[in-house]
Structure 1
Amino acid sequence: MLAPPPSDVNIDECYNLLSSPVDCVSEVRGQWRGMRDAEAAMAEEMGATYVDSRDWFCADDRCPAFVDETLVKVDLVHFSQPYQRLMQAAFTERLATLGILPPPS
């Protein structure tokens, strides 16, 4: 089970011609933490692996909408294809470490 990114800010609502990227920085909220805890417990009960993806999207519980010029999320929970490509090595490494994927060659 893969945790969705924290969904505090919707890019469609915060980004416009007068805003700056800092206006779209999300924060990890209590609601996300509660869902993470519930999903992790459910995964454990099912014998599944739970992947906390927060550090792929956030640093110090602040989650930027852009990394350099790459849009991170296209809505509240779906990350963009350019960001997926940018982070592919990190995703693969984590999933390999957890035994979900074979180690990268």
Structure 2
Amino acid sequence: MSTWIVLRESNFTRLCDTKSLLTVNDSFPRPTITVHRGDTVYVNVHNHGYYGVTIHWHGVKQSGNPWSDGPEYITQCPIEPGSNFTYMVIFSTEEGTLWWHAHSDWTHC
């Protein structure tokens, strides 16, 4: 299975306050990726944001596949603005609700 993620800065207004947020496929909160135990998913992330970013897959063991774990400068370099990276996420014995989120260099905020 494969899916696309496009990261983009978008202005969102909530409770009369407008902020620039990193959105995923033009939505906030981020979309759900539905998988089954034993699936391997290829997630192609296109970074159209302002800063380097990675995606971390919480609760996914990634045994033998650490380069797709996501912490920037630990298991991979950030996906720089204007570039993309394809994650291979292997769901072996995981089940239940797992979550994913971005890691980013917040020193630029």
Q: Normalised by the shorter chain, which TM-score bucket?
A: under 0.3
Higher helix share: 1
Q: TM-score, normalised by structure 2?
A: 0.26
The structure that is strand-richer by fraction is 2
